[in-house]
Amino acid sequence: MMKKLLHTKSAPGRTLFRRRMATFMGPLEVVWAENEQVAWSVVAITLPGVSPVAMSAAPGKPCDFTGDPPGPVQKLEEDLRRYFEGERVDFALDRVDVSRCRSFQRKVLLETFRIPRGTTLAYGTLAERVGVPGAARAVGTALARNPFPLVIPCHRVIRSSGDVGRFGGGSDMKRALLRLEGVSFDAKGRVGPIPRSAGA
């Protein structure tokens, strides 16, 4: 169930809107912006219990809001609902505003978007794919600030050992999302061996 929550004034002429939806992990929020130049753009998806990292790009004080979001935002919310019900969902990248991210992070996020459901990729391999071999730590930092989890599936990026590694919502949430997508784990909570074509 969706609940209408609030909007936030940021820069002049720009308004942020936020809605909350219930999931089996807790409430998730979708944040979008409207202004005179752009009718709407999703600027953040905030997982349960996670600080809204993308909000720093458009700070403001929250205030009450009632109303319906634009149709594309409603479609994103519907896709998220279906995802948490275990359906296979092909999220659309054009519903989120990656242009707000810096160049390196944008490159990492766009490559992460290509990781198929039910598979994982090692941080080191992702670094190689974006042209910075050996920069697994920098890739991890870029993913830690991912404004669009689930749409850009940073939970599919893990350590080469099979350990899930860090995640904004915690390692248990990361495992829960991967299990939802059909990834299996051993008794120690690690993903099985990653093929060389997929991991490092």
The HSE-up count of residue 168 (CA atoms within 13 Å, CB side) is 25
- Locate tokens 């936020």: which residue? 18
Catalytic residue among 139, 154, 178, 194: 154
The HSE-up count of residue 180 (CA atoms within 13 Å, CB side) is 23
What DSSP designation does 191 have? B
Amino acid at 131: G
CA-to-CA distance for 173 and 119, rounded, in angstroms?
16
Phi, psi of 32 (to 5 degrees): -135, 165
Contact 22, 1 (CB under 8 A): yes
- 154 as an active site residue: the answer is yes
Sign, CA dihedral 75-38-99-56, equals negative
Query: Terminus-to-terminus CA distance in the chain, angstroms?
Result: 40
Angle subtended at Cα 93 by Cα 67 and Cα 135, rounded to the nearest 5 degrees:
125
Active site residues: 154
